[in-house]
Structure 1
């Protein structure tokens, strides 16, 4: 449970800070979000939190997947550091990070996927896949809208 709490803290703290530092025109893009992707994102977010905290088995031999998950979470924190140091425009939020497209959505999804493998937690893995479809889908839509507008 401690590993899950640490991962969730690393995920949520920058998002809480971001909620006070959103790009000025962020709400303009939110209005155009696909409702199905949004529903999948919300279902994925809730289920990832639940299965990260309450259904874990972190006593196994898949340590390499834990290392990958930790490295990904470090990259995620670095992505946020880059964003918070930027001018905080939509293009800053959706710019690639280390050649990873829509890194703010992709990196944490991958981190929790590897955490699910490490914990041999099929429910977490399924939840992450649902989250990935919604969250990454929404971010790709925003990215497309940003670069078509500008």
Structure 2
């Protein structure tokens, strides 16, 4: 594990673009009845800090870029697979009726896939890079982002939710 080596990461740029692009499109395609009202402020702070830290660590530490192929490279492959599944989840969402249940859905057995797949992808990228800042901020992001999605999903499951 390392605290990283400064430098621009093309892998970080690709992962960041794959994360941000569908979210920008989502702003015009929110599910019917969506509201951020009532979200736990502590989770929101963790989510925002995690988002900023994760994106910065992925972009500005060159450790996330591929090196010579080895068994360790399978972490990068697994990370890319999770990011690809995340994109597939978005395609399914955008083709759906855009209901709250669509947004907080599972995908291929992954619960709350819109939150867990990108967190998992960046976590595996951090493991591949052996990059402590990326691992730390991804865990912070995971607690906030998955926590907020879980809060919304539980509200949907309540009677009258």
TM over 0.5: same fold?
A: yes
Counterpart of 1:13 in structure 2 is 21
Deviations 1:81-135 (A, max 9, x none): 1100000011110111111110000000000001111111110000000000000
Deviations 1:25-68 (A, max 9, x none): 112xx111000000000000000011011123133642000000
Counterpart of 1:42 in structure 2 is 48
Correspondence for 1:138 among 120, 126, 148: 148
- The structure whose Rg is larger is 2
Correspondence for 2:60 among 51, 54, 72: 54
Q: Name structure 2 gaps, 5 residues minimum.
A: 1-8
Correspondence for 2:93 among 80, 83, 90: 83
Residues 102, 139 of structure 1: 8 Å contact kept: yes
Backbone CA RMSD of aligned residues: 1.1
User: d(CA) in 1 for partners of 2:103 and 2:141?
Assistant: 19
Q: How many residues are paired up?
A: 148
User: d(CA) in 1 for partners of 2:110 and 2:128?
Assistant: 23
> Given the alignment of the two structures, is residue 114 of structure 1 paired with residue 124 of structure 2, yes or no?
yes
Q: Name structure 1 gaps, 5 residues minimum.
A: none
TM-score by length of 1: 0.95
User: d(CA) in 2 for partners of 1:53 and 1:120?
Assistant: 15
User: d(CA) in 2 for partners of 1:120 and 1:99?
Assistant: 28
Select the structure that is richer in helix: 1
User: d(CA) in 2 for partners of 1:111 and 1:95?
Assistant: 18
Counterpart of 1:99 in structure 2 is 109
